[in-house]
Amino acid sequence: MKKRVAILGSTGSIGTQALEVIRENPDHFEVEVLTACNNINLLSKQVKEFNPNTVVIANESRYNELIDQLEDLPVKVYAGNDAIAQIVEMDTIDVVLTAMVGYSGLLPTIKAIKSGKTIALANKETLVVAGEIIQKLAFHHKVSIYPVDSEHSAIFQCLVGEGQNVIEKIYLTASGGPFRGKDLEFLKTATKENALKHPNWDMGAKITIDSATMMNKGLEAIEARWLFGLTPTQIEVVVHPQSIIHSAVQFEDGSIKAQMGLPDMKLPILYALGFPNRVKTEFPRFSFWDYPELNFEKPDLTNFRNLALAFEAMDKCGNMPCILNAANEIAVEAFLNDKIGFCEMTQIIEQSMQKINYIKHPELDDLINTDKETREFSKTLIKK
Ligand code: MN3
């Protein structure tokens, strides 16, 4: 039986790599639904190759153009975020890959869980913003969430076969990004061109900037907390510049299991889509002889304060991670648009965390309001 996949965010970095995985494994997977935000040219190319049943463009103003490009094809075409949320309920979907960027992934993921779909989660912001709500919903609807993020896939792989064995702690590895080892003087004048050059991973713009500021690792710590039911003190970040060990789990007997491999997102994507089976691939193999040294360092929380702020938000819990995430999305966008400098991103996040009302036990509506309020406030901090 082929697994029928819905890809939310098919034109982004994870979406396009997921389609490569599906193209290489036509006996295992087929595409049922594709959705994208704006990129109708790539989306219609994907429709022509993969023949999905349904396609949705989030930006409604591009609907007519998309219809024109697809007019002779037997595919249903819809537009708007509400359509994306509805489409995940389709009976013919086996697994929903959530690969949209940022907060926009939250509501469709909730809809997919409520309709009982297996989730391959590539959108970490969903768990950062509403991890507790998502986990309760998944439990209630008996839905499995398989991580696509490489570190979380590593931890998940280490846990296979461990049954009820207790996790003592996890080691979340970080490459350190393009600015590892740099001081504050350098960071103050760091440019977006340099920030966008990640040494190991090929990813979208938002996550690449998050890697440069180390916010990505902070978001991943919060993501790991909810995925694996951990407390913040059980999560340790280890800088490992070669990105070969993708993360590790330490058990109560002191034993550590780690998952290794060359850094390629197609591996964790394939593992999440194929679980519990491993699918044979022709991907290049890791060789120990190419890596005579693997290095490990403590993260620099002074110059990369975003990571410290994320741990602070995780400790406070409630709506604080939602505030952190919304302020970060606004800050990253402003940095990418040359409106603020590299270090100002931290200031915007920190001030938002101080200013926005803290709610200890937020409902989903509280989080939706917090997100909106934080975005409005953090925009007022951007001068140009
Ligand atoms: Mn990651």
Give me the CATH number covering residue 132: 3.40.50.720
If asked whether residues 139 and 157 sit together in one domain, one would say: no
User: How far does residue 265's CA lie from ligand 1's centre (Å)?
Assistant: 9
User: How far does residue 250's CA lie from ligand 1's centre (Å)?
Assistant: 19
If asked whether residues 256 and 373 sit together in one domain, one would say: no
User: How far does residue 79's CA lie from ligand 1's centre (Å)?
Assistant: 30
3-state secondary structure the chain: CCEEEEEECCCCHHHHHHHHHHHHCCCCEEEEEEEECCCHHHHHHHHHHHCCCEEEECCHHHHHHHHHHCCCCCCEEEECHHHHHHHCCCCCCCEEEECCCHHHHHHHHHHHHHCCCEEEECCHHHHHHHHHHHHHHHHHCCCCEEECCHHHHHHHHHHCCCCCCCEEEEEEEECCCCCCCCCHHHHHCCCHHHHCCCCCCCCCHHHHHHHHHCHHHHHHHHHHHHHHCCCHHHEEEEECCCCCEEEEEEECCCCEEEEECCCCCHHHHHHHHHCCCCCCCCCCCCCHHHCCCCCCECCCCCCCHHHHHHHHHHHHCCCHHHHHHHHHHHHHHHHHCCCCCCCHHHHHHHHHHHHCCCCCCCCHHHHHHHHHHHHHHHHHCCCC
User: How far does residue 53's CA lie from ligand 1's centre (Å)?
Assistant: 31
If asked whether residues 116 and 257 sit together in one domain, one would say: no
User: How far does residue 156's CA lie from ligand 1's centre (Å)?
Assistant: 13
If asked whether residues 110 and 210 sit together in one domain, one would say: no
Of the candidates 96, 130, 147, which is a domain's last residue?
A: 147
User: How far does residue 173's CA lie from ligand 1's centre (Å)?
Assistant: 9
If asked whether residues 163 and 263 sit together in one domain, one would say: yes
User: How far does residue 47's CA lie from ligand 1's centre (Å)?
Assistant: 28
User: How far does residue 334's CA lie from ligand 1's centre (Å)?
Assistant: 22
If asked whether residues 83 and 70 sit together in one domain, one would say: yes
CA separation, residue 291 to residues 199, 258, 261, 282, 294 (Å):
15, 16, 11, 20, 7
If asked whether residues 256 and 330 sit together in one domain, one would say: no
Please give the tally of structural domains in the chain. 3
Of the candidates 267, 288, 316, which is a domain's last residue?
A: 316
If asked whether residues 139 and 163 sit together in one domain, one would say: no
User: How far does residue 151's CA lie from ligand 1's centre (Å)?
Assistant: 5
CA separation, residue 33 to residues 20, 79, 103, 235, 361 (Å):
15, 13, 21, 36, 35
Closest Cα partner for 35 from 26, 24, 44, 22? 44
If asked whether residues 197 and 308 sit together in one domain, one would say: yes
3-state secondary structure 188-219: HCCCHHHHCCCCCCCCCHHHHHHHHHCHHHHH
CATH value at residue 335? 1.10.1740.10
User: How far does residue 235's CA lie from ligand 1's centre (Å)?
Assistant: 15
User: How far does residue 170's CA lie from ligand 1's centre (Å)?
Assistant: 14
Closest Cα partner for 261 from 228, 218, 296, 290? 290
User: How far does residue 207's CA lie from ligand 1's centre (Å)?
Assistant: 9
User: How far does residue 220's CA lie from ligand 1's centre (Å)?
Assistant: 7
If asked whether residues 139 and 160 sit together in one domain, one would say: no
User: How far does residue 231's CA lie from ligand 1's centre (Å)?
Assistant: 19
Strand partners, 167: 251
User: How far does residue 344's CA lie from ligand 1's centre (Å)?
Assistant: 23
User: How far does residue 221's CA lie from ligand 1's centre (Å)?
Assistant: 10
pLDDT in tens, the chain (384 residues): 899 999 999 999 999 999 999 999 999 999 999 999 999 999 999 999 999 999 999 999 999 999 999 998 999 999 999 999 999 999 999 999 999 988 888 999 999 999 999 999 999 999 999 999 999 999 999 999 999 999 999 999 999 999 999 999 999 999 999 999 999 999 999 999 999 988 888 788 899 999 999 999 999 999 999 999 999 999 999 999 999 999 999 999 999 999 999 999 999 999 999 999 999 999 999 999 999 999 999 999 999 999 999 999 999 999 999 999 999 999 999 999 999 999 999 999 999 999 999 999 999 999 999 999 999 999 999 976
**Residue range of the domain that includes 334:** 317-384
User: How far does residue 149's CA lie from ligand 1's centre (Å)?
Assistant: 5
User: How far does residue 294's CA lie from ligand 1's centre (Å)?
Assistant: 19
pLDDT at 316: 98
pLDDT at 384: 62
Of the candidates 268, 293, 316, which is a domain's last residue?
A: 316
User: How far does residue 72's CA lie from ligand 1's centre (Å)?
Assistant: 40
Rounded distance, CA 216 to CA 210, Å? 5
User: How far does residue 306's CA lie from ligand 1's centre (Å)?
Assistant: 16
Q: Are strands 256-260 and 245-251 parallel, antiparallel or unpaired?
A: antiparallel
pLDDT at 219: 97
If asked whether residues 142 and 285 sit together in one domain, one would say: no
Residues with CB under 5 A from ligand 1 (ion): 149-151
User: How far does residue 253's CA lie from ligand 1's centre (Å)?
Assistant: 27
pLDDT at 203: 80
User: How far does residue 379's CA lie from ligand 1's centre (Å)?
Assistant: 27
If asked whether residues 185 and 326 sit together in one domain, one would say: no
